[in-house]
Structure 1
Amino acid sequence: MQMTAPPNSPVTSPTLTDLFLRWEHEKPTQTYLRQPVGDRFIDYTWAEVGQQARRMATYLNALGLPPGSNIGLVSKNCAHWLIADLAILLSGHISVPFYPTLTAEQLHQVLTHSGCPVLFVGKLDNWTGMKAGVPDGVTLVGFPTYGPATDLSDRSDLMAWDEIMAHYEPMTTVARPQPDDLFTIIYTSGTTGTPKGVMIDHQAVSEALFDTRILLKHDTPNARFFSYLPLCHIAERNIVQATSLATGGTVYFAESLDTFAKNLATAKPTHFLAVPRIWTKFQQGVLAKMSQSKLDRLLSIPIVSGLVKKKIRQGLGLNEAVLILTGAAPMPKSLIQWFRRMGIRIQEAYGMTENLGAVSMMPLDDMRDGTVGKHYPGMDVAIAPDTGEILTRSKWLMRGYYKNPDLTREVLQDGWLATGDVGTLDNDGYLTITGRVKEMYKTAKGEYVAPSQIEFGFADNNYVEQICVAGQQLPQPMALVVLSEMGKHAERILVERSLEDTINALNPTLHAYERVRKVVVVRDAWTVDNNMMTPTMKIKRNVIEARYDAQLQPWYNHDQLIIWE
């Protein structure tokens, strides 16, 4: 599709509203959203999505809200998430989505800060526990249920979606946004503290979509997307919501964790994004069926190699993918290379909510492992000479942090955004991330340590699923690790030898003050539910360090190199 602005469009490039209206008009009977329910799908055409979004937009405006009101949305990914977001868009209000894993206290915090008078409530595991966090006076609209996976058993306080559909007519004249109208406020996942509300306007979304259209393959015919990472996160908002609207493609959803593999294989996405932890899970799933040594032997046989690679790609549902991305967290170079041997060429992308997640992407024709690729057209990147911090400048930076002008001034100066990431930029424009400004710490000896670079050294150890290098008050770092399924089922002596081998290979490559002194195998996995990970599967380093703080010094003084909690 050639992205050109339709007549009388209020901005140079099409807005998401423009794109939706185009497909609603041009392909009304074609399927836009496919919602799995057991062994069947509920399909929604572009016209049906438009009808529901327009009826809901009529309802929202009937509430008498001021134009441009903040409208909240809390749900796992599902068809009605996107329909509700379109309704907010068409009614001229501002979408404020929240993570579906929030506690009542966390939900109360962001709802109060954003001042949402309306909250869409959808596919959730624990609405019963969350709803205590809703401030008085907020109107609640409940999605239709998709079987037993939705905890909306008590719907007495929810305005029913189907009832609204039955009683309100579709809006015929929809809101057409101006360039500087706010599109959304995205609250960050809060890896280092209180979530911040990132304000993004329509112009920024349009510019980012237009300037990345070639790299993100907007011209793909019959584009398909698989939506499972939180839609309230900038990455899924870009790759699934915005790119599906740019391509006129079809969005498939994951019904649950148990059906994830089946749903992905059915979708056969042309565009697919997974965070590094998902790629690790995929790799471990392959190796659980076939040892690495056997896989290596089969890949060394020319005819057999092609068959093995095809079977693996088909098993994952990626045999028709034209764009395969990873992002949101650093991807180990060895993992990218492992998948490349399988014929799965993963392009690493880099960005953050504040710059719409669109800073750089690895080009397919010149992949340089260890970097996050080259910056997009229209995106300027610089490295601060004093700190090594990555600075970005483009037409699609955030407007600022909602109700926080002081913090906005700290990170946005003279058109440049200070990302908080530390890195280098080579002469060919390839960007390398070396750490986070706030994650770097001084050891007891006064030397600076970047923990993420040390953690990469454990990437090839298949017994390790999660790792956090800690030791701010210690002379040298120590590694806390959570074992993979393979590691949990292996004999302890084999795990210990493997970890020792990793340390012996890693430490000589590090400065003396960076070398890992101990490895501690902790009992409990770090998950979103126990607040050790963000919803996008990044570890919460400060929370993990606080959890084990009292034990770090005794572990450090322990006689053994490998310690079991």
Structure 2
Amino acid sequence: MSEKIAPALLALQRLYDWETKAPARVALTQPMGGGVVHDFTWAQVADQVRRMAAHLQAQGWEPGSKVAILSKNCAWWMMSDLAIWMAGHVSVPLYPTLAPETIRQILTHSESKALFVGKLDGWDGMKPGVPAGMPCISYPLSPVDAIQDYDGWDAICARTEPLQGQPVRAEDDLATLIYTSGTTGLPKGVMHSFGNFAWAIDRGLQRIPLTAKDRMLSYLPLAHVVERMLVEHGWLRTGMHVFFAESLDTFAADLQRARPTVFFSVPRLWVKFQQGIHAKMPPAKLERLLRIPLLGGIVRRKIQKALGLDQCQFAAGGAAPMPPALLQWYAQLGIPINEGYGMTENLALSHITEPGKNQRGTVGPPYPGVEQRLDPQTGEIQMRSQALMQGYYKEPEKSREAFTEDGWLRTGDKGSIDAAGLLSITGRVKDLFKTGKGKYVAPAPIEDKLVMHEAVEACVVTGANLGQPLGICMLSPEASAKAKNADERAALERSLAEHRAAINATLDPHEQMQCLVVVSTPWTVDNDMITPTFKVKRNRIEDVYARHYEKWEVTGKPVIWAD
């Protein structure tokens, strides 16, 4: 564990390399609206970063000050991050969907000196979370009132001479505070150094085949550790071409523009892609066509092209478990998905399945240089590597609790490791619940099966102290719309009842679901039911629905509409 990273591999030095070696190569492609796109070459990226870094340095803050970024993904997000580092400071990214109370809590806790206010929806609702008097900088794509109220990126660059030379940061310097998405309470500021990032991307590229010839579409929040590692640091390390998405409405066109060679998505979005295909072609018909020689190949290529993934050489999923049936479905389409596992505390650099190998049902072996083990008492997955966090900012007690006495990270996840060293995730240590019969239930494997119904967009299996577990299902928008029609609703109820019966047939008696509860209220970031990365907040589900559990349990109905 004493191996060191050569300074030339650290993030800023990578920028200087591309500035020198490939100044005219397009680095970033940014949609500007109305079908207009703007390309940034490496020379232009470096010039703007240098100018903004000079501006930040001129503020006179002490080295290592925190500077926050609140924006959807865009070219200026990544240039802001680099400018903060070049100026000698620490970046604090915020999810672009946070409530004002959370924005205030993070900005205050991190002691941020300034805030980049970027491309945002709903800025009016977020603005009250920014402390009075905090200096803010807007982007060209910021909300109109932010552009009017704050100093603008372009104006600052126009009047500021670029910072000269090649300022460097030490391997052990704090690079960023990544605030966790808060599934278990208030966000904690995870501290990562430049050396952590350099080691992690070096090991990651031994499993993920990124090169300068690759293209990626950046659309999942850059505030999230996977997008930060794979897109931002993958870009700096390899010099690949990064495209940005414009909006949800233009997402299909954004994918077609980028035609990514490497594509990462969270399970909920992979499910939505599948539902979109099934909306145009019923599952039974698709299965039938795929089995026909020659015609099956034509259908596969058409679907890949329609998704914008016909050039994709490496597809991955993560941030939550990928249902095995979903992985099998995409494999039939010629889009094998590699499932990754990691967390903010280890820069998402823990495990991933190996390309070309059938390791479905697992998250593969550890990345090179990563060690794994299971706690013999609880089955908790523990790991260690040189990408482990320095701790939680201002939280020494929670930092100590995150590690074992001998320095292994406690993941909080339960798992099993097979003879080949492949890791399977079986649930959360704290997600296990005991029914009224005294039997423990692990909800995650049951949820993997439940979410595979085409009408179900998200679900939770719960039921502590009940006779049997309950499945709570949120319908997709399309299914919700259809359910307003009485005949469609009756057909959906029959289909869900059959789905429940089929799943229960695969479960031990104490795991079988008493009923499925269909809820009409969408689970969103705004109502705090899911995190910005689409993980359902179990504690919020309990807060909202637990008072109904006993009533639902005794109805005797296989499907309940909780209107």
- Is the pair's TM-score, using the shorter chain for normalization, greater than 0.5? yes
Give, in angstroms, the shift of residue 517 of structure 1.
Answer: 0.5
1:516 to 490, 513, 516: 513
Distance 1:419 1:246, change over 3 A: same
The question of whether the paired residues in 1 share the 8 Å contact of 2:16 and 2:166 is answered with no
2:376 maps to which residue? Answer: 385
Deviation at 1:563, TM superposition (A): 0.6
Partner of 2:505, secondary structure, is: helix
Match of 2:70 among 54, 74, 81: 74
Aligned to 1:333: 324
Contact 2:414 2:425 in 1 (8 A): yes
Structure-2 separation of matches of 1:165 and 1:177? 23
1:352 matched to 2:349? The reply is no
Q: Secondary structure at the match of 2:474?
A: strand
Q: What is the rounded CA distance, in whole Å, between the counterparts of 2:252 and 2:390 in structure 1?
A: 38
Task: Report the Cα distance in structure 1 between the residues aligned to 2:227 and 2:23, rounded to whole angstroms.
Answer: 24
2:177 corresponding residue in structure 1? 185
Shift of 1:249: 0.9
Q: Distance in 2 between matches of 1:237 and 1:175?
A: 22
Compute the displacement of 1:486 (Å): 5.2
Q: Does 2:437 match 1:440?
A: no
**Shift in alpha-carbon separation, 1:140–1:387, aligned structure 2, 3 A:** same
- Deviation for aligned residue 1:120: 0.7
**Distance in structure 2 (CA, Å) of the matches to 1:168 and 1:154:** 21
Residue 23 of structure 1, aligned match among 11, 18, 30: 18
Per-residue CA deviations over 1:157-203 (Å, capped at 9, x if unaligned) read 41221221121100013431111101111000001111010000011
Match of 2:29 among 22, 31, 34: 34
Distance 1:139 1:486, change over 3 A: closer
Aligned to 1:6: none
Alignment pair present for 1:207 and 2:207: no
**One-letter amino acid matched to 2:291:** S
Change (3 A) 1:290 1:397: same
4+ residue runs of structure 1 moved beyond 6 angstroms? none
Quote how far apart the aligned CAs of 1:151 are. Answer: 2.7
Q: Is the 8 A contact 1:13 1:210 kept in 2?
A: no
Deviates more, 1:154-163 or 1:294-303: 154-163
Could you say if the C-alpha distance between residues 63 and 426 of structure 1 is closer, same or farther in structure 2, counting changes exceeding 3 Å? same
The residue number in structure 2 matching 1:223 is 214
TM-score for the superposition, normalised by structure 2: 0.95
- Rounded Cα–Cα distance in structure 2 between residues aligned with 1:445 and 1:152: 58
Deviations 1:198-244 (A, max 9, x none): 000011111111122221213x3421110000001000001110111
Tell me if 1:405 matches 2:396. yes
Amino acid at match of 1:84: S
Displacement of 1:285 = 1.0
The one-letter amino acid of 2:117's match is V
> Aligned partners of 1:458 and 1:183: how far apart in 2?
40
Match of 1:550 in 2: 547
Shift of 1:265: 1.3
> Which residue matches 1:302?
293
Amino acid of the structure 1 residue aligned with 2:12: T
Q: Provide TM-score, normalisation by structure 1.
A: 0.95
The Cα offsets for residues 289-327 of structure 1, whole Å up to 9 and x where unpaired, read as 111122122112211111111111111111111211100
Partner of 2:107: 111
Alignment-derived partner of residue 256 in structure 1 = 247
Percent identity over the alignment? 47
Tell me the CA shift for residue 282 of structure 1.
Answer: 0.7
Whichever residue aligns with residue 244 of structure 2, its letter is: F
Query: One-letter code of the match for 1:41?
Result: V
1:115-514 paired onto structure 2 within 5 Å: 115-145=111-141, 150-218=142-210, 220-413=211-404, 414-485=406-477, 487-488=479-480, 489=482, 491-514=488-511
Q: How many angstroms does 1:485 deviate by?
A: 4.5
Gaps of 5+ in 2: none
1:319-372 superposed Cα distances (whole Å, 9 cap, x missing partner):
111211100011100001001000001000000000110111111232221111
> Are the equivalent residues in 2 in contact too, given 1:128–1:152 (CA < 8 A)?
no
* 3-state SS of 2:190 partner: strand
CA distance in 2, matches of 1:486, 1:162: 42
Which residue identity lines up with residue 61 of structure 1 in the other structure? Q
Whether 1:91 aligns to 2:77 is no
Amino acid at match of 1:262: A
**Residue type matched to 1:52 in 2?**
Q
Mapped to 2, the partners of 1:64 and 1:486 lie a distance apart of 54
Conserved 8 A contact 2:140-2:147 = no
How many angstroms apart in 1 are the aligned matches of 2:556 and 2:476? 25
Contact 2:5 2:199 (C-alpha < 8 Å) held by counterparts = no
- The Cα of 1:509 is off from its aligned counterpart by 2.5
How many Å separate the matches in 1 of 2:217 and 2:207? 19
- When structure 1 is superposed on structure 2, of 361-370 and 373-382 the one drifting more is 361-370
Distance 2:425 2:73 in 1: 30
8 Å CA contact retained: 1:462, 1:486: no
How far apart in 1 are the matches of 2:399 and 2:537? 23
Q: Equivalent residue of 1:92, what SS? A: coil
Q: Does the Cα contact within 8 Å between 1:389 and 1:422 map onto a contact in 2? A: yes
What count of residue pairs does the alignment treat as equivalent? 552
Distance 2:261 2:495 in 1: 38
Deviation digits for residues 473-492 of structure 1, max 9, x if unmatched? 42221011112345332622
Aligned pair partner of 1:532 in 522, 525, 529:
529
Q: Can you list the C-alpha shifts for 1:406-427, whole angstroms capped at 9, x where unaligned?
A: 0111112322000000001111
Matched, 1:54 2:50: yes
Contact 1:370 1:432 in 2 (8 A): yes
Deviation at 1:457, TM superposition (A): 2.2
Whether the 8 Å CA contact 2:117–2:146 is kept in 1: the answer is no
Distance 1:94 1:154 in 2: 23
**Do the aligned residues in 1 keep the contact of 2:171 with 2:193 (CA within 8 Å)?**
yes
Tell me the residue number matched to 1:14: 9
- Does structure 2 retain, via aligned residues, the 8 Å contact 1:471–1:552? yes
Query: Does structure 2 retain, via aligned residues, the 8 Å contact 1:13–1:207?
Result: no
**Which runs of 5 or more structure 1 residues have no equivalent in the other structure?**
1-8
